[in-house]
Amino acid sequence: MAKKLLFVCLGNICRSPAAENIMNHLIEQEGLGDRFICDSAGTGGWHVGALPDRRMRAAAKERGLDFVGSARQFEAMDLREFDLILAMDKDNYRNILALDPQRKFTDKVKMMCDYCETYTDKEVPDPYYGGADGFNYVIDLLFDACGGLLKSLKSH
């Protein structure tokens, strides 16, 4: 049975869809498409139905990647549905756990940067209000974190 991964940020138009698309890219590169299902969501509902941010798509395009998907809001049911939930920052982490008052699913929720192998960041910065450099940095950071995550998942 495929392991279900959910990447979560605030609006689900920058960081989490980037993580989802990068992870899918790495999974496909290794021919592991049957072992993993990736999705993304935002703790806020402002952008529901929207494509990934055009600046994020442009930064991805420069690396030969096509970012697809449409934004959705994280729901309590996701805590049951997914095997691993990856928060981009501490606020996202707290907002996810707020939907789990009985603390049944705490062990499923992890910080994305915990899987970085090169970068030392503790959180994935939100590039939304910055320039192109921020989007490029987030993609590099997420390639590092997703690579480490995939390595970790393959070893278990």
Q: Which amino acid is at 64?
A: G
- Could you tell me if residue 65 is left (phi over 0), alpha (psi between -120 and 50 degrees) or otherwise beta? beta
Contacts of 62 (CB under 8 A, 6+ apart): 136
Specify whether 15 is catalytic.
yes
Residue keyed to tokens 């503790």: 122
Residue 9 bears catalytic tag: yes
| 43 neighbors 96 (Cβ within 8 angstroms) | yes
Closest to 132 (Cα-Cα) out of 54, 25, 42, 41: 54
Closest C-alpha among 80, 79, 66, 12 to residue 44: 12
Annotated catalytic residue within 15, 55, 57, 72: 15
Tokens coding 6: 């959910």
The catalytic residue among 39, 53, 126, 144 is 126
Q: How far apart are CA 106 and CA 75, in angstroms?
A: 15
Catalytic residues: 9, 15, 126
